[in-house]
Structure 1
Amino acid sequence: MSESFRSFNLNKQLLDAVADQNFTTPTEIQERAIPAIIAGQDIIGIAQTGTGKTAAYLLPLLMKIKYAQGMDPRAMILAPTKELVVQIAAHATELAKYTDLRIEPLYGGVGPKTQIEMIRKGVDIIVATPGRFMEIYLKKELPTAALKFLVLDEADRMMEMGFMGQLRKVLEVIPRKRQNLLFSATFSGKVEQLSAEFLEFPRKIEITPPATPAKQVDQSLYHIPNIGTKLNFLGYLLQNEEEYNRVMIFARTKGSADNIVSYLETKGFGPTRVIHSNKGQNSRINAVNEFKEGKLRILVSTDVTARGIDVERVSHVINFDVPVFHADYVHRIGRTGRAFREGSALTFATPAEKYHIDKIEEIIRERIPVKKLPAEVTVVSTPYAESQAMAKDIDFQKRKEDPDFKGAFHERKNKPDSTPPQRERKNKPDNTSQQRDRKNKHR
């Protein structure tokens, strides 16, 4: 092990765990953040995915807590999704393997009963989504008086997902006197606002400019009219098995991911697996492991795995759908080009997705090179329903930028009925004659 990790004055238990993880030289975020956190400073850590930022806060946190004590949690790590919570808790458990520290993940999607039982047995560190934390706290099953450390991980994603309100509620119910750590891939205006509310005189550690794509990733953008043509282009690319030998395909929704896999299976590509929130935890873990081991050529996923999956030698990342959480673009394409190897990232964009491409290019501060669709790819006509959906999306995007914009759908909705008033009156039932008939009947 490098003497650099020993220079942090970590205890033997942590150094042994670091050795087991095959960590050799600390990354830049670890080199700069670990001593500051051990010294008790509030930290804003801005670093790309794949830079070792999780260990950058876990190692000093574990060092400061040291051993199991009492029944109530002394540290809490908040993350935006169940998948990230599970991932962080697993990483923490590995680093704490030679200690007696008790680490418990808290997340939704399952009943809270088992999680509450674990809390009652005693816990030192909780890793939680904000919603599940508040749910268990409001049941009076999660004491907070002993909390001394709070970490917000993936703060940019939390802000994009609208967690500000929930985070404020969390901050209201935990002790004011604590050490705070905020880690994020970007430092957007919303993250800056959060840090102003959450941190006191923080030290900002910025490793690379926010949302900077890795230099070794070759990016390309294809403007494609519709989903059918996207599928045809995907099939065209995957015919080249030698070049496209380990491919991650990202879809925006579970339905889109499932449709891609159905298409690939029909065309005989593969082997292929899909992972999203409807898949069981074991299914997702097995799929990722098969992909890591090279048994799986194609892995289709929603953004639940865009952050944190560490697979070497991914030849290509294909953004079948453009992410609407724009910082996710960097995290997606960061699955290739890892460990200083070259990689390729291709993005397919319909006219309705151009808005998101423009926003992504603002974040990464560069243009994604545009390439022409190969002549061999069959371009199909856009179905009416898809065309209407895209038109509605474009109207929504324009209204988002300009609240006074009145789109085509707005105008059609408010357009006066073309039916002449006289014809409407003629077709209506004559209530007066009906009443006269009823009176004559009773007579």
Structure 2
Amino acid sequence: MTLPVALSGTDVIGQAKTGTGKTLGFGLPLLERVIVPADVEAGRAAPEQLTEAPQALIVVPTRELCQQVTNDLLTAGKARNVRVLAIYGGRAYEPQVEALKKGIDIVVGTPGRLLDLAGQRKLDLKHIKCLVLDEADEMLDLGFLPDVEKIINMLPAKRQTMLFSATMPGAVIGLARRYMSQPTHIRATAPDDEGQTVANTKQYVYRAHNMDKPEMVSRILQAEGRGLAMIFCRTKRTAADIAEQLEHRGFASGAVHGDLGQGAREQALRAFRNGKVDVLVCTDVAARGIDVGGVTHVINYQSPEDEKTYLHRIGRTGRAGAKGIAITLVDWDDIPRWQLINKALDLGFNDPVETYSSSPHLYEDLAIPAGTKGVLPRAERTRAGLGAEEIEDLGETGGRGRGGGRRDRGRPAAAAPAPTPEQERPARTPRRRRRTRAGSPLDTPAATPASTQVPEAAAPVATEPTEPRTPRRRRRTRGGGGAEAVAAEAVVAEAVVAETVIPESVAPEAVVETAVVETAVAEAPAAEKPRRRTRKAAQPVTETAVAEAPAEDKPKRRTRKAAEPVTEAAAETPAEDKPKRRTRKAAEPVTEAAAETPAEEKPKRRTRKVAQPVAEAAAEAPAEDKPKRRTRKAAQPVAEAEIPAQSSEEPKPRRRTRKAAAAPESTPEAEAAVTAPRRRTRKKAEPVETPES
């Protein structure tokens, strides 16, 4: 019905059931209308009518359908030597561009890649005489409509346009007429074939539980007379999962879904066509236009979205006059959706029968042998499987090539070739990390267990065995300049305490002889002494320590509480050398012992609490070697009995107070205080105790 109208150059809208030969319905007119060198030789065309640009364009929705239509046209146009090229995504650009440069007569492609090549000016669409939209209802859907409109705007205004599909809603027909000129609508149906489904396809609908579906499918696939089977799922993840489960049950299965690379999808289809795989689990990407001979069973593992999808799914069987069986498993949640499909197609399965894998009527309807289980017997596993079909390297883009990724989901991984003896490497002992300090190991080789020793090839150069070292105790320092000296002293001190040999890792200039370690530590200059921060009170200082220590070497102390009373000895300090002291409370009187220290050598002390009395043991150490100490507790008052009394002839420093200072007595000490520095206190200063008072 289509051939006479299409050969005359009239626009056509063709609608027919699945498996009735729509591909050749538009393919034969295209093969006749293109001008090839054979027409020039036969005198049917002039030489100037030959062109290397495409003369016909066929747009299809899926890659699998694109490849199938290309193969059909190559077979039909072999006698005239018509050049047909498939252009779709998932393949490398270079082979397609090279083929276009050599010359092509008919181009079959998907919208995305066609727009890419046309935008790069690799595809010339100015000589197109005929445009065909296969599966037009899908092409003109909202998802493809913008791309299709862009492609149509690139074509010449004077052309022939043909639309073909098994389902053609009225809204799609109205939309299609915008791009057509007085089209002829042809709807082909057999006189005895009522309804929208094919009469040769027997349909069964069961209400099944989701957890029992894999077992049901496994038993259905063992029915008598079952040939190739296709299982349709609604999601990609479900398709991959079912393909993997069937493979574990012994079936030769393959998967086709969007998460696979194009090479893996074509590999599964080739294996299915060649009989190496007899079960193909796929999503709706393989529901349209796929023509594989010998498909006897189609199983809808999940209910389809609408009636059009249902018709295209079950149309994969019962093609070209053959008989087939369509089985639909409807879950409880999908009952409302299925009732809408049933009403639209008038199927008569409004309330499916509740069925399980052990239901007797399932065995009777599908001719399943009694006693069949969900695992295929080993004697019946005769298919080569998906691994027997080699995957083709298509130079895929987008990271989904042969390198792996999500495309390998749902299919077995190809076995890697066994390495040759030359490629085999000896087994390596795992490397064991050893803790070292300054290049020397912490544990000696004798202390290392034999089971964990490093092999000779990976072991470091052996040194003289030493005794196990005591772990180093870290010391906090104020400056970074004395860090090396502190580390050297710590090693020497640890060696003395443990009575061990000093390792060679310590620098020679930092090592002190073991015999004189004690004196070396005592006589070490103050520059090498680290500063210590303690939170406890300092130890008391003896009388001789306070008397002999120079004041300039005294550490500064900060106190947040009141200072202890100053004795008469503080009066001997010159006023101009006295530092200023800031206290939050009133300063206590200074004892006599502190008066002997010159004022210019007196350091500032800031403590949070009163400082403890200094012990006699620290008197022997020179003042310049004394480290600065910060304490958070208060310093203890110095006893007057432990400090020799001194004359109070020295001038007394001035103090600043926030309150009115008490009037000092007219003593020599008070007169000397005129030149002494002032001290700031928050409370009233206490009177200075003198021997006379």
List per-residue Cα deviations over 1:132-188 (Å, max 9, x = no partner). 211211112222221111001101222346211221222222111101111011111
RMSD of equivalent CA atoms: 2.6
**Corresponding residue for 1:17?**
none
* Contact 2:139 2:148 (C-alpha < 8 Å) held by counterparts: no
**Corresponding residue for 1:76?**
57
1:152 aligns with 2:136: no
1:310 to partner: Cα distance: 3.1
Following superposition of structure 1 onto structure 2, how do residues 409-424 of structure 1 map, counting pairs within 5 Å? none
**Corresponding residue for 1:143?**
124
1:97 to partner: Cα distance: 1.1
1:283 to partner: Cα distance: 5.1
List per-residue Cα deviations over 1:309-342 (Å, max 9, x = no partner). 3344433211002232641211221222334343
TM normalised by structure 2 equals 0.46
Change (3 A) 1:71 1:245: closer
> What amino acid is aligned across from residue 263 of structure 1 in structure 2?
Q
1:305 aligns with 2:286: yes
Following superposition of structure 1 onto structure 2, how do residues 157-306 of structure 1 map, counting pairs within 5 Å? 157-160=138-141, 162-208=143-189, 212-226=196-210, 228-238=211-221, 240-266=222-248, 268-279=249-260, 284=265, 287-288=268-269, 290-292=271-273, 294-306=275-287
Q: Distance in 1 between matches of 2:320 and 2:168?
A: 24
> What amino acid is aligned across from residue 356 of structure 2 in structure 1?
P
* Contact 1:160 1:325 (C-alpha < 8 Å) held by counterparts: no
Change (3 A) 1:374 1:163: same
Change (3 A) 1:338 1:361: same
Q: Distance in 1 between matches of 2:22 and 2:271?
A: 25
* Contact 1:102 1:125 (C-alpha < 8 Å) held by counterparts: yes
Paired residue secondary structure (2:115) = helix
Q: Distance in 1 between matches of 2:135 and 2:81?
A: 27
* Contact 2:90 2:262 (C-alpha < 8 Å) held by counterparts: no
Which 4+ runs in 1 deviate beyond 6 A?
none
Structure 2: 5+ residue stretches without partners: 38-49, 360-693
Paired residue secondary structure (2:295) = coil
> What amino acid is aligned across from residue 189 of structure 1 in structure 2?
G
List per-residue Cα deviations over 1:228-255 (Å, max 9, x = no partner). 23223223434x4435453221122332
1:101 aligns with 2:85: no
Q: Distance in 2 between matches of 1:184 and 1:319?
A: 21
Q: Distance in 2 between matches of 1:294 and 1:174?
A: 41
* Contact 2:57 2:131 (C-alpha < 8 Å) held by counterparts: yes
List per-residue Cα deviations over 1:341-371 (Å, max 9, x = no partner). 4322111222443354244335434333623
* Contact 1:322 1:347 (C-alpha < 8 Å) held by counterparts: yes
**Corresponding residue for 1:121?**
102
Change (3 A) 1:59 1:221: same
**Corresponding residue for 1:317?**
298
1:294 to partner: Cα distance: 4.9
Q: Distance in 2 between matches of 1:133 and 1:286?
A: 24
1:284 to partner: Cα distance: 4.6
Asked which structure has the greater CA Rg, the reply is: 2
Change (3 A) 1:205 1:67: same
Following superposition of structure 1 onto structure 2, how do residues 320-331 of structure 1 map, counting pairs within 5 Å? 320-324=301-305, 326-331=307-312
* Contact 1:211 1:330 (C-alpha < 8 Å) held by counterparts: no
1:72 to partner: Cα distance: 1.4
Q: Distance in 1 between matches of 2:340 and 2:92?
A: 38
Q: How many residues align?
A: 343
Determine which structure has the larger helix proportion and give its number.
1
| Greater displacement, 305-314 / 103-112 | 305-314
Identity of aligned residues (%): 36
List per-residue Cα deviations over 1:97-147 (Å, max 9, x = no partner). 122322211111234333222222222211111222112111122222211
* Contact 1:225 1:350 (C-alpha < 8 Å) held by counterparts: yes
Q: Distance in 2 between matches of 1:211 and 1:119?
A: 44
Q: Distance in 2 between matches of 1:172 and 1:136?
A: 15
Q: Distance in 2 between matches of 1:109 and 1:355?
A: 37
Q: Distance in 2 between matches of 1:292 and 1:115?
A: 25
Change (3 A) 1:127 1:341: closer
1:372 aligns with 2:357: no
1:289 to partner: Cα distance: 5.0
Q: Distance in 2 between matches of 1:211 and 1:307?
A: 19
Give the number of the structure with larger relative contact order, counting CA–CA contacts within 8 Å between residues 6 or more apart.
Answer: 1
> What amino acid is aligned across from residue 220 of structure 2 in structure 1?
L
Q: Distance in 1 between matches of 2:67 and 2:247?
A: 30
